Amino acid sequence: MATTADTDAMRRAVALAARGLGATSPNPVVGCVVRDASGHEVGAGHHERAGGPHAEVNALRRAGVLARGGTAYVTLEPCNHTGRTGPCAQALIEAGIARVVYAVADPDPVAGGGAETLRAAGIRVEHGLLAAEAEEGNAAWLTSVRLGRPYVTWKYAAGLDGRVAAADGTSRWISSAESRADVHRLRAEADAVVVGSGTARADDPHLAVRGVDGAVQPLRVVVDTEGTAVRPGARVLDGAAPTLIAVAEDTGRTDSRADSGRTGAEAEVTGRTEGAGAAGGTGVEWIRLPRAAAGGLSVPALLAALHERGVRSVLLEGGPTLAGAFVAAGAVDRVIGYLAPLLLGAGPAVLNDAGITTLAGALRLDVREAVRLGPDLRITATVARPAVPAAGPGAPDPDTATVPAAQDPRTTGPQAPGPHPTRPATPGPATADPAAAGRETAVVAPKES
Ligand SMILES: NC(=O)c1ccc[n+]([C@@H]2O[C@H](COP(=O)([O-])OP(=O)(O)OC[C@H]3O[C@@H](n4cnc5c(N)ncnc54)[C@H](OP(=O)(O)O)[C@@H]3O)[C@@H](O)[C@H]2O)c1
């Protein structure tokens, strides 16, 4: 049974991890807290950006010699491989850490196995503490590892009658200034922001982050089958962030644009950057994708192309037609609706044809949060999916766990992101290393009185 002090330390590590959102892809967000042998915090840190030191290394640096004999609380199993930085398991061993408590097992077959290395070095290893909270914080990265596609948050702003634009197509400023500022935070946490050609035409959106200190700009993506929506002078071409325009592979219309780079919208762009990715430059890239049978571009192909570019989280900003295609493809993980206290009476509904024809086919959601933002209400819901099977190294040991961490009354996080109910289940971390099951002690959070 974990102590209250253990839970407090892990909760702080989860909060630290969240500071890395939007800056670490293709890596996970990770937080770490180090306490000395007497239980005093002597170091804390998080993974701040891809290529930079991992959370454990940052925390151990701050702790110095005081880490010796202490406990490290980490939101993700310490990595075991040398990438751009050295293995964290080794850093913990060298620092003289006596006990490691981590929340979630690393499902990455390349980086995983750190727990075993730690145990082999004589370190006490426990896992599962605040696993649900840590999973929620790392939903983007875990989803991408498990499903091979980015985690998708669909965001919209609507009046209370569920319309996202007026009859004449105007939709700017449906929501309040507070909600709009909040959207910039969402953009800052995402690797890519996606809109369809209808929104590009109607709103000429900018899609970059403004007003968030230190934000890494997301990749701006316009899904424009025929390559006709992004016109010269469009705001997404202003160089404030990298831009990707997805067109059909057989669209002759864009040949000249894509190949010569000197006509159409692209003629506006200087310093075109081939391969600009989530953390790339600020140029414009065109990619060609297969068409979907139902029209438009293939959503899975788009997500695969983004994943290949290191994108682990997508903020889908609409509009209703593209959002419908994402829902139909089983490619929405979270929905954030900003509901403004106004009625439009006519105009497009939030979601267009999503392939749902009867109530039994409705996509069920779990409401996670409802908060007031100025005059608006922000509702956050995640797609209700079966939990990842609770077995293996990432799950509490059923023999020793009396109260699973996920049932901690203070744990409000969702179930692990999993596959869409209509898709075959993808093995999660629980099945990554069955041989490791039961080799460690599962820690569980104490009940709050
Ligand atoms: N309030 C809000 O939150 C909000 C947000 C966004 C938009 N809006 C409003 O929504 C309206 C635009 O709606 P919309 O539905 O036309 O915009 P949209 O969803 O952004 O764009 C739809 C277009 O995307 C293209 N597309 C490419 N691949 C697709 C696929 N797989 N499935 C579906 N479409 C695909 C299609 O045109 P091509 O195939 O020809 O490229 C399609 O017509 C505007 O009035 C805008 O102001 C409101």
| pLDDT tens string 349-370 | 999 999 999 999 999 999 999 9
Of 355 and 438, the structure prediction assigns the larger pLDDT to 355
Q: What angle do CA 134, 139, 142 make, to 5 degrees?
A: 95
Determine the pLDDT at residue 422.
32
Mean pLDDT of 310-339: 97
pLDDT confidence band for 431 (50 / 70 / 90): very low
Residue 186 scores a pLDDT above 90: yes
Residue 271 scores a pLDDT above 60: no
Q: Is 159 in the pocket of ligand 1 (CB under 6 A)?
A: no
pLDDT, tens digit (0-9, with 9 covering 90-100), for 366-400: 999 999 999 999 999 999 876 554 333 333 433 33
Among protein residues, the one whose CA lies closest to atom 33 of ligand 1:
322
| DSSP code for 209 | -
pTM to 2 decimal places? 0.82
- Count other Cβ atoms within 10 Å, centred on residue 124: 14
What 282-285 contacts at long range (C-beta under 8 Å, 24+ apart), as own/partner pairs, is 282/217, 282/239, 282/240, 282/241, 282/242, 282/243, 283/239, 283/242, 283/243, 284/237, 284/242, 284/243, 284/244, 284/245, 285/242, 285/243, 285/244, 285/245
Q: CB–CB of 411/405 below 8 Å?
A: yes
Query: Which residues form the catalytic set?
Result: 56
What values do phi and psi take at 370, rounded to 5? -140, 115
pLDDT confidence band for 230 (50 / 70 / 90): very high
Query: Residue 192's beta-bridge partner residues?
Result: 219, 314
Determine the pLDDT at residue 384.
80
Q: Is 297 in the pocket of ligand 1 (CB under 6 A)?
A: yes
pLDDT confidence band for 443 (50 / 70 / 90): low
As to burial, measured by CB atoms within 10 angstroms (0-12 exposed, 13-18 middle, 19+ buried), residue 49 is middle
Determine the pLDDT at residue 133.
96
Mean pLDDT of the chain: 82
Determine the pLDDT at residue 65.
97
Cα of 5 vs its chain's centroid, Å: 29
User: For residue 203, which atom of ligand 1 is closest to its CA?
Assistant: 47
Among protein residues, the one whose CA lies closest to atom 30 of ligand 1:
296
Query: Residue 219's beta-bridge partner residues?
Result: 192
Determine the pLDDT at residue 444.
46
Q: Is 322 in the pocket of ligand 1 (CB under 6 A)?
A: yes
Q: CB–CB of 346/366 below 8 Å?
A: no
Q: Is 352 in the pocket of ligand 1 (CB under 6 A)?
A: yes
5 contact partners, CB below 8 Å, separation of at least 6: 35, 39
Mean pLDDT of 413-421: 34
pLDDT, tens digit (0-9, with 9 covering 90-100), for 26-84: 999 999 999 999 999 999 999 999 889 999 999 999 999 999 999 999 999 999 876 66
